[in-house]
Amino acid sequence: MASDTVAFVKMQGAGNDFVVVDNRDYGFSGAELSVAAEAWCSRRYGVGADGLLALAPPRSSAADYRMGYWNADGSRATMCGNGARCLFRFARCRGVGGGSALAFETDAGLYRAVQPGSAPDTVRLFVPDVTDVRPQFQLEGPVPDAIRTLTFVHSGTEHLVATVDDLAAAKVTKWGRQLRHDAGVQPAGANVNFLELGPGRGVRVRTYEKGVEAETPACGTGVLAAAVVAERTRSASTARAVPVRTRGGDLRVGHAPTDRGEERYLEGPAVVVFRGKVQPPSASPRTASARRGDASRRGRD
């Protein structure tokens, strides 16, 4: 569908921010959305965001819609927990589905989400069982001495969870970039989550995200991965939720009874920031090179 402008909504979940479009209206291809992500997500030349979310028609009758997600560098991502909550709220505002819960397809499988209680800014995302957990994960390159344990977790996308004693002292950008590019996690790479186990059940997490190539305020699937590692490290019961503090805000990982049995969930904010219009996707060399320049300069420590 040809259009002079593209309507979007800027949203954020715990500071993880997104440009959100209803691709049912435009029918952009994956290649076009990749170009759009790189242009629109630029914080100097575009709207500014960690990624682009696209609402699309479902491919099966089991889902109400399909979620597409592209990182700020234009790369396709299989799943984004904070983005999934935001797209759920966007879909509901666009009149998708008839019930309180919506099911949606992602590149990582089928997910469901609900709005618990009456707070419109809070979304509970039910997630599949996290079965790919590899403790004492070995990389090919050196690991900083401050990292006590390293675990690989696939919680919708690839994650390394690095436990540390002092999260504030962790060199997230330097260490995250090093571990994210280690040959042991290629070719997909991995997000790198630095986890500090606090008193009680609470944990604190900081994340270096591939595709953004910088620390982000929060990462939903990273929070999920960190909570799984925290549960295993403490040999804790999963009956109570794990509160997770990120730089962008607080989230919760827990279990709740549903019509499908006991399911794990990721719960947190999904907030509308503003609405606007942008130019349609275009392969602008200036924008692309500028975005890569931003990424290479951001957050050095």
Q: What is the DSSP string of the chain?
A: ---S-EEEEEEEETTEEEEEEETTTT---HHHHHHHHHHHT-TTTSS--SEEEEEE--SSTT-SEEEEEEETTS-B-S--HHHHHHHHHHHHHTT--SSS-EEEEETTEEEEEE--TT-TTEEEEEE----EEESSPPPSS---TT--EEEEEESSSEEEEEE-S-GGG--HHHHHHHHHT-GGGTTT--EEEEEEE-STT-EEEEEEETTTTEEES--HHHHHHHHHHHHHHHT--TTS-EEEEETTEEEEEEEEEETTEEEEEEEEE-EEEEEEEEPPP---HHHHHHHHHHHHHTT--
Residues designated as active site: 80, 219
